[in-house]
């Protein structure tokens, strides 16, 4: 009987009935197995019966399985190749970062001049951090991803090397034509020539005559010239202009000339005055007496002996007066009118010591000369010595203060130099203080020394003025991490940590297939990977939470045919029809041994019984039915 075609079989769903001699068998479909009369799924993924690639995830399905390449790989699941996210532009690297492909993933690294985690890159300010290579006399300018070095004014070079420009020799200065150019480090100084005044870039002539700072004689005329002045003796006087003498009484023979006849001459010596009145009838006698005096070998002594006194008793006092001088030629005659003249003899008196000078008190120096004195204004003053005015060295440009880093302050007769804020020194030389050595900035800021000052800049990850405040920036507010990562703010920075079930650097996270670990679930459970997690489910025939599974003794529920024996197995059971029955155990049909086996003696009659048979010897025969005689 073909139970399969007659429909008298009891095969479960998802199975095929196969007829056998005197019975039939049930065969479950692909990916299924017969368990307790039911076709249950075979987990090919957990049992290792799949053909998925090593870089693919196996997902069990009822009666089969699927293979899917993991994130970072492409293919049909049975073959997976690495995806080059960098070449495919599927990465999330920053525009200022370099993408490097790795097996199943990629890495992002900020390019030179930028810093960050690769998915977020910010420009590094090399100038503020002083990581540039600009020269000490160059200005560093930060650019996007780099920096620029430019030599300061007064220097030339590529910014990395800067040399001082000698403006004086290269004629790039702006000094006046009447000024001298002096090169300085990084600059130059213009100083007006003597006889000119001004800042050096503009010089105007000093009129020494109007300012009474010339040294012309009192009987001379001062004429201003460009950058100087000239002294010319007045009419009736002779000399170089600084010294002038009356041309009427220049030699010893002035008494013999008619121009002095009938004149009254007298001598004036400083504050003392001695005079002689010369009459015409005495001129010849007076001249003879003077001639005799010259003939004496020792003039200074000869005038004192008795013989000389006898010769000129009437002029004794006059002659004694004459003998106290070096010579009459040192005298000078100054006209008064047609009948009188001044005859001045040089009897020297130290006007400076005796306070007889008229030099400017306290600001001029008196120097005694033969028969007179000279007044000269002290350093820092200008004038003729009798009148002196303070020279403002600061406005005149004659000071030696630092040209750019110091302030010049005029003082009576001098000046002072003081370095400007941010520099120290004597004012002539000023050096940058270097404030950063005293750590003036906030603890979370770095200090950058500048020319004459400093700047404070908060470190990366902080915001504020750098000097008093630098507050931590909570970068997590900008969601810099991957969608499957957790951002944790830290002082001055942040960290990205992939969530449980994901792995990578936090800026890129991919799902972990926990099911690849055979110890994730119980060995009698099926592991199913999910996004960021997994599930464990005890296999059919077991009970538990998937992490712990115990065998179910199906025999306790009598799943087999009443004419079959139930045998419990790990995760399942078996049903075996009892002797005399045939079937799959779930269904057992009595076997008619009389038909199929003919076990009785030919002289006996076979009678089928449930699960067995009986043999009875025919009449006339005796025996057990199996054997009859």
DSSP per-residue codes, 560-597: S-TTEEEEEETTEEEEEEPTTEEESSSSEEE--HHHHT
End of a domain among 366, 389, 412? Answer: 389
| pTM (whole model) above 0.75 | no
- Residue 171 domain-assigned (yes or no): no
The answer to whether 2 touches 19, Cβ cutoff 8 Å, is yes
- Confidence label for 98 from pLDDT (cuts 50, 70 and 90): very high
C-alpha span between 24 and 372 (Å, rounded):
161
pLDDT in tens, 481-496: 888 899 999 998 899 9
* CA neighbor of 441 nearest in space, from 421, 457, 429: 457
pLDDT at site 246: 67
How much is the mean pLDDT over the chain? 80
- In this structure, what DSSP letter does residue 340 have? B
Least confident of 79-83, 264-268, 530-534: 264-268
Lowest mean pLDDT among 10-19, 52-61, 286-295, 302-311: 302-311
Query: CA nearest 555: which of 545, 546, 547, 564?
Result: 564
Nearest Cα to Cα of residue 344 among 243, 272, 241, 240: 272
Name 237's bridge partners: 246
| Tokens read off for 576 | 């075996």
Q: Which of 417, 414, 411 is nearest to 429 (CA)?
A: 417
Query: Are both 547 and 597 inside the same structural domain?
Result: no
Q: Where are the beta strands (DSSP E) in 347-405?
A: 364-369, 372-377, 381-383, 388-390
* Residue 182 placed within a domain: no
Q: Which residues have CB under 8 Å from 588's CB, separation 6+?
A: 561, 562, 563, 564, 577, 578, 581, 582
In a domain, 44, yes or no: yes
Confidence of residue 319 (pLDDT cuts 50, 70, 90): very low
- Separation of alpha carbons 133 and 616, rounded Å: 120
Q: How far apart are CA 498 and CA 141, in angstroms?
A: 39
Half-sphere exposure of 121 (CA within 13 A, CB side): 21
Phi and psi (nearest 5°) for 585? 95, -35
Torsion, Cα 618 623 627 629, to 10 degrees, reads -70
Establish if 570 belongs to a structural domain: no
Cross-strand bridge partners of residue 121: 116
Domain that holds residue 229: 210-243
State yes or no: pLDDT of 598 exceeds 90.
no
Residues 6 or more apart whose Cβ sits within 8 Å of residue 235: none
Please report which confidence band the pLDDT of residue 350 belongs to, taking 50, 70 and 90 as the band edges.
Answer: confident
| pLDDT surpassing 90 at residue 303 | no
SS3 78: coil
Task: Tell me if residue 289 falls in helix, strand or coil.
Answer: helix
In whole angstroms, what is the distance from residue 187 CA to residue 175 CA? Answer: 12
Structurally, how many domains does the chain consist of?
Answer: 5
pLDDT of amino acid 483: 84
* 496 located within any domain: no
Residue 605 sits in a domain of what CATH number? 2.10.25.10
Q: Which two tokens stand for residue 278?
A: 């010369």
Beta carbons within 10 angstroms of residue 169's beta carbon: 10
Q: What per-residue confidence (pLDDT) applies to 207? A: 92
Looking at residues 444-466, what average pLDDT do you find? 86
Domain boundary among 32, 49, 81: 81
199, 197, 196: which is closest to 173 by C-alpha?
A: 199
Q: What is the C-alpha to C-alpha distance for residues 156 and 148, in angstroms, rounded to an integer?
A: 15
Helix, strand, coil percentages, rounded to 5, for the chain: 15, 40, 45
44-66 tens-digit pLDDT: 888 888 889 988 899 999 888 99
pLDDT of residue 346 exceeding 60: no
Does 151 reside within a domain?
no
- Residue 346 is assigned to a structural domain of this protein: no
What pLDDT, on the 0 to 100 scale, is given for residue 335? 45
Closest CA to 76 of 101, 48, 100, 56: 56
* Mean pLDDT to the nearest integer, 607-615: 88
Taking alpha carbons only, the member of 24, 390, 396, 438 closest to residue 213 is 390
CB-CB contact of 203 with 197 (8 Å): yes
Torsion of CA 74, 80, 85, 89, to 10 degrees: -30
What CA–CA distance (Å, rounded) separates 498 from 477?
17
Geometric angle at alpha carbon 555, from 552 and 561, rounded to 5°: 140
pLDDT of residue 338: 44
- Among 389, 409, 440, the domain-final residue is 389
Task: Answer yes or no: is 528 within a domain.
Answer: yes
pLDDT, tens only, 557-581: 888 888 999 998 888 889 999 988 8
Q: How many CB atoms lie within 10 A of CB 308?
A: 19
Q: Cβ contacts of residue 459 below 8 Å, gap of 6+?
A: 444, 445, 446, 470, 492
Q: Would the pLDDT of 257 be above 70?
A: no
Give me the CATH number covering residue 360: 2.10.25
Q: Are 608 and 592 in contact (CB under 8 A)?
A: yes
Q: Hey, which residues does 573 pair with through a beta bridge? A: 568
3-state secondary structure of 380: coil
């Amino acid at each position: 009987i073909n139970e399969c075609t007659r429909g008298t079989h009891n095969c479960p769903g998802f199975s095929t009935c196969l007829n056998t001699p005197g019975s039939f068998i049930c065969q479950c479909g692909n990916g299924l197995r017969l368990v307790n009369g039911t076709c249950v799924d075979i987990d090919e993924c957990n049992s290792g019966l799949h053909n998925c690639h090593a870089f693919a995830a196996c997902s069990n399905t009822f009666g089969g399985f699927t293979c899917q390449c993991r994130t970072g790989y492409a293919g049909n699941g049975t073959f997976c190749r690495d995806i080059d996210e960098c070449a495919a532009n599927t990465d999330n690297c920053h525009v200022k970062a370099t993408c490097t492909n790795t097996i199943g993933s990629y890495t992002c690294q900020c390019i030179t001049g930028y810093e960050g985690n690769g998915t977020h890159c910010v420009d590094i300010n090399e100038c503020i951090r002083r990581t540039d290579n600009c020269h000490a006399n160059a200005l560093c300018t930060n650019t996007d991803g780099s920096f620029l070095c430019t030599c300061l004014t007064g220097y030339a070079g590529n910014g990395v090397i800067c040399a001082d420009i000698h403006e004086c020799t290269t004629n790039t200065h702006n000094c006046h034509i009447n000024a001298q150019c002096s090169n300085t480090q990084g600059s130059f100084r213009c100083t007006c020539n003597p006889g000119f005044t001004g800042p050096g870039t503009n010089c105007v002539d000093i009129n020494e005559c109007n300012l009474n700072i010339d040294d012309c004689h009192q009987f001379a005329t001062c004429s201003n010239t460009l950058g100087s002045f000239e002294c010319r003796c007045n009419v009736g006087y002779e000399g170089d202009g600084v010294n002038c003498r009356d041309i009427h009484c220049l030699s010893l023979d002035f008494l013999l000339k008619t121009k002095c006849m009938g004149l009254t001459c007298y001598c004036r010596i400083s504050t003392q005055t001695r005079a002689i009145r010369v009459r015409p009838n005495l001129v010849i006698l007076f001249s003879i007496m003077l001639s005799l005096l010259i003939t004496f070998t020792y003039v200074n002594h000869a005038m004192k002996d008795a013989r000389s006194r006898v010769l000129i008793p009437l002029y004794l006092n006059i002659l004694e007066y004459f003998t106290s001088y070096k010579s009459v030629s040192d005298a000078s005659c100054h006209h008064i009118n047609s009948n009188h003249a001044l005859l001045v003899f040089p009897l020297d008196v130290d006007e400076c010591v005796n306070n007889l000078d008229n030099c400017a008190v306290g600001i001029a120096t008196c120097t005694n000369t033969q028969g007179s004195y000279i007044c000269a204004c002290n350093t820092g003053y200008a004038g003729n010595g009798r009148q002196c005015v303070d020279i403002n060295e600061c406005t005149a440009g004659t000071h030696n203060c630092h040209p750019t880093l110091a302030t010049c302050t005029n003082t009576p007769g001098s000046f002072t130099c003081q370095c400007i804020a941010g520099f120290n020194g004597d004012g002539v030389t000023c050096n940058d203080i270097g404030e950063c050595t005293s750590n003036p900035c906030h603890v979370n800021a770095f200090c950058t020394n500048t020319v004459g000052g400093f700047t404070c800049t908060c470190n990366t990850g902080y915001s504020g003025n750098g000097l008093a405040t630098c507050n931590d920036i909570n970068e997590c507010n900008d969601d810099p991490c991957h969608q499957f990562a957790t951002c944790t703010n830290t002082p001055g920075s942040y960290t990205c940590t992939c969530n449980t079930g994901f792995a990578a650097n936090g800026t890129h996270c991919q799902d972990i297939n926990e099911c690849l670990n055979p110890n994730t679930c119980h060995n009698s459970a099926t592991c199913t990977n999910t996004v960021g997690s997994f599930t464990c489910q005890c296999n059919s025939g077991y009970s538990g939470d998937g992490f712990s599974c115990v065998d179910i003794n199906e025999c306790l529920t009598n799943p087999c045919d009443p004419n079959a024996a139930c045998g419990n197995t790990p995760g399942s059971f078996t049903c075996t029809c009892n002797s005399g029955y045939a079937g799959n155990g779930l269904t057992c049909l009595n076997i008619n041994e009389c038909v199929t086996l003919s076990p009785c003696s030919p002289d006996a009659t076979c009678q089928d019984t449930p699960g067995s048979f009986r043999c009875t010897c025919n009449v006339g025969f005796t025996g057990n039915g199996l054997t009859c005689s």
